[in-house]
Amino acid sequence: MCQRRPSRQAGVLEHNVSAEVAARYKRAAVANVVAIATLTGRYLPELGEDAPRLTAAMIMAIGAVWTHARPSEAMLAAYQADPSLTAFKLDFVTALQDMLATLIAGTIARTSL
């Protein structure tokens, strides 16, 4: 379920489970962040100790962009009825690339200070 709806993780899923399930999920999530941060640090060594922080921010950004790039049927109908509203419609890949590039550049700039 979490794989299909990453944006619901904190807002819904983490509020509707037992403490045991939440702890098990968080342990797995932390392990995933560590693994991704290790890879991120390998390819962007200039991040240094900020690789885990960047990785966590990237995961949150992915969930947010995914949510906003997948409008509801009602929103799609609103876009069709009023094309001026499509200024707020996001393409997932483009928006995610922009967001991740900004996060990476900002983290590297802050690390360099």
Give residue limits of the domains in the chain. 6-112
What is the structure's pLDDT at 83? 93
Q: How many residues does the chain have?
A: 113
8-32 burial by CB neighbour count: b if 16+ within 10 A, else e?
A: bbeeebeeeeeeeeeeeeeeeeeee
pLDDT band with cut points at 50, 70 and 90 for residue 113: confident
Using a cut of 0.75, tell me whether the model's pTM lies above it. Answer: no
**pLDDT tens digits, one per residue of 74-92:** 999 999 999 999 988 899 9
